[in-house]
Amino acid sequence: MSRIGVDLGGTKVEAILIDDNGIVEARERIATPRFEYEATVETVARLVETLDQSAGRRCRVGAGTPGAVEPSTGLMKNCNSTWLNRRPLLGDLTRRLGERVRLANDADCFALSESVDGAAAGAHTSFGVILGTGVGGGFVAHGRLIQGPNGISGEWGHTPLPYFRSDADELEGRLDDRPCYCGRVNCVETFLSGPGLARTHNALWGEAREPRDIAAATDPNGRRTVELYCRQLARSLAQIVNVIDPEIIVLGGGVSEISALYRRVPELWGPYVFSESVNTRLLPAVHGATSGVRGAAWLWPADYNSDSNH
Binding site for Zn ion (CB under 5 A): 158, 180, 182, 184, 187
Nearest to 108 by CA among 302, 310, 294: 294
Euclidean distance between CA atoms 167 and 165, whole angstroms: 5
Please say which residue, 18 or 76, places its beta carbon nearer to Zn ion: 76
Residue 122 region by backbone torsions, left for phi larger than 0, else alpha for psi between -120 and 50, else beta? left
Q: Running DSSP on this structure, what letter comes out for residue 161?
A: P
The nearest distance, CB 272 to Zn ion, in angstroms, is 21
Calpha distance 109→8 (Å, rounded): 11
Least gap, CB of 185 to Zn ion (angstroms): 8
Q: What are the C-alpha distances in Å from 308 to residues 165, 301, 305?
A: 50, 11, 7
CA atoms within 13 A on the CB side of 182: 19
Residue 17 vs 188, nearer CB to Zn ion:
188
Nearer to Zn ion, 120 or 187 (CB): 187
Smallest gap from residue 187 Cβ to Zn ion (A): 3
Q: What does the alpha-carbon distance between residue 108 and residue 102 come to, in Å, rounded to a whole number? A: 13
CB of 160 to Zn ion, least distance (A): 9
Provide the minimum distance between the beta carbon of 13 and Zn ion in the complex, in angstroms, as a whole number: 25
Give buried/exposed letters for 159-177 (b at 16+ CB in 10 A, else e): bebbbbeeeebbeebebee
Of 176 and 276, nearer to Zn ion (C-beta) is: 176
Helix axes 220-244 and 260-268, enclosed angle (nearest 10): 60
**Pick 141 or 182: Cβ nearer Zn ion:** 182
Q: Where are the beta strands (DSSP E) in 159-222?
A: none
Q: Least distance to Zn ion from the beta carbon of 193, Å?
A: 10
